Chains A and B, each alone.
Chain A
Amino acid sequence: MAAKKDPEEPRAQEVETRPVHEGQGGYYAPLVDIYETDQEIVVAADMPGVDPSGVEVKTENGLLTLLGRVTRKSVKDVTQLYEEFVPGDYCRAFSLDADVGEGSVSAEMKDGVLTVRLRKPERARVRRIEVK
């Protein structure tokens, strides 16, 4: 499932997502930014329309899965005049190097952006040494 591309590719790699729930034709892959700080690896995904209760973040066997569900109010008699986006659920998964999955994971959902922070295990954290 996880496609290992080049060994240079750092800790989080994209993995094919497929619909896991019946009745769901497919998911949107949210745009993500992945960056690393001294203490953690952060994955920020754009999921407009999702509130904290609609979010599912899972780490299993080195796989990080982000799922965001949009609550759609069905209104009768609506005419679509112009449509650049169609509301839908979001899903995207990443494979993680073994050491990253071990640390603690936290997630925050604010203004349609899901931010997942994975703490790096002790040995991978950078401790900056001051040079006097």
Chain B
Amino acid sequence: MNLVPWKKKDVMEHPLASLRDEMNRLFDGFWRGDFLPERFTFARTFPNVEVSETDEEVVVRAEVPGLEAKDIDLSISGDSLFIKGEKKEEKEEKKKEYYHRETHYGAFSRSIPLPSTVDVEKVQAECKKGVLKITFGKVPGEKAKKITIKGEKTEKTSKPEKGEESEKT
């Protein structure tokens, strides 16, 4: 007797579906540069950022160890924040012999999409302790608007309540 795994009909998947999905992910990642050593993706992926929001402001933080305010070029265009600059190699010490090198150097340029609640006129940026912090005020009065959905009226079936979508027959 063969033992066949029991699955509910609506979850029935081709046994190779997960393999196919994995292969798709691998290939997509390949074109994105997932397999490239970090020094090749540095320009696009440095610095690491974190965006958080409170009621009054939106804060973008970027990890830029070794950089000062003057090394970074910050601008806004449309909905995006552009962080550009160059992480220069230390030139002061001559006759160095590296035996371990994990950090990367070079020019970088990243764009961070900003939420629409951001007021680009009210912005402040500071760079301290290797962290770039950009604080945006928010556009006043931006609150989530509730959208009511009108249902379809049908004769035979019961009238759907306002705010509910009726089933399409």
Contact = CB atoms under 8 A, between A and B. Distances in A.
Contact of A111 (B51, B54, B66, B100): B66
Nearest to B38: A31
A130 B94 CA distance: 16
Contacts of A83: 50-51
Contact of B55 (A35, A42, A77, A112): A77
Sorting the interface of chain B by its residue count into under 10, 10 to 19, 20 to 34 or 35 or more gives 20 to 34
Contacts of A37: 93-97
B102 interface: yes
A19 interface: no
B130 A48 contact: yes
Given A78-B54, A84-B50, A111 B96 contact: no
B100 A34 contact: yes
Contact of A33 (B54, B94, B100, B130): B100
Contacts of A80: 50-52
A49 interface: yes
Interface residues of A, number: 32
Contacts of A84: 48-50
Interface in A2-61: 10, 12, 31-38, 42, 44, 46-51
Contacts of B54: 75, 77-79
Interface string A57-96: 0000000000000000001011111111110000000000
B47 to A, nearest CB: 9
Contacts of B98: 33-35
A113 interface: yes
Most B Cβ at <10 Å: residue of A32, A34, A48, A79: A48
A36 B63 contact: no
B97 A36 contact: yes
Contacts of A113: 65-66, 130
A49 B53 contact: no
A38 B130 contact: no
A78 B61 CA distance: 14
Contacts of A112: 63-66, 129-131
A77 B59 CA distance: 13
Interface of B: 48-55, 58, 63-68, 93-103, 112, 115, 129-131
Q: What are the 5 closest A-B residue pairs judged by CB atoms, nearest first? A: A112-B130, A48-B130, A112-B65, A34-B100, A46-B65
